[in-house]
Amino acid sequence: AQTVTQSQPEMSVQEAETVTLSCTYDTSESNYYLFWYKQPPSRQMILVIRQEAYKQQNATENRFSVNFQKAAKSFSLKISDSQLGDTAMYFCAFMKHWVNAGNMLTFGGGTRLMVKP
């Protein structure tokens, strides 16, 4: 079974600054996806960024980037130039990646991020 751990229940950052959210996971799988999802007060989960485990290059998506350390089973999210709209719960999630695995996500407990003006 997979586990995902987010050790920071809450974080805050000043607008325009940079913040890093931590995530570690445990799995015996070699091929998998990792995701960061954002859940604003509207409740809808929105994909922020994804990483395929076989790719060594860290994923980037505009102001969002990850530091993927496969051997250490670490997957942190860096948000640059933080904006007020980034205020939300952030969830790290794991998905196996093989045929017929289905699309089951294992989520961490979340980090509540507050961006202050």
Partner 1 sequence: ETGVTQSPTHLIKTRGQQVTLRCSSQSGHNTVSWYQQALGQGPQFIFQYYREEENGRGNFPPRFSGLQFPNYSSELNVNALELDDSALYLCASSPGLAGGTGELFFGEGSRLTVL
Residues forming contacts to partner 1 in the complex (CB under 8 A) are 4, 33, 35, 42-47, 50, 91, 93, 95-110
13 or 95: CB nearest partner 1 = 95
The per-residue DSSP string of 30-47 comes to SSEEEEEEEE-TT---EE
Q: How far is the CB of 99 from partner 1 (least distance, A)?
A: 6
- Report d(CA 94, CA 105) in Å as an integer: 6
Q: How far is the CB of 77 from partner 1 (least distance, A)?
A: 15
86 or 110: CB nearest partner 1 = 110
Neighbours of 47 (CB within 10 A): 11
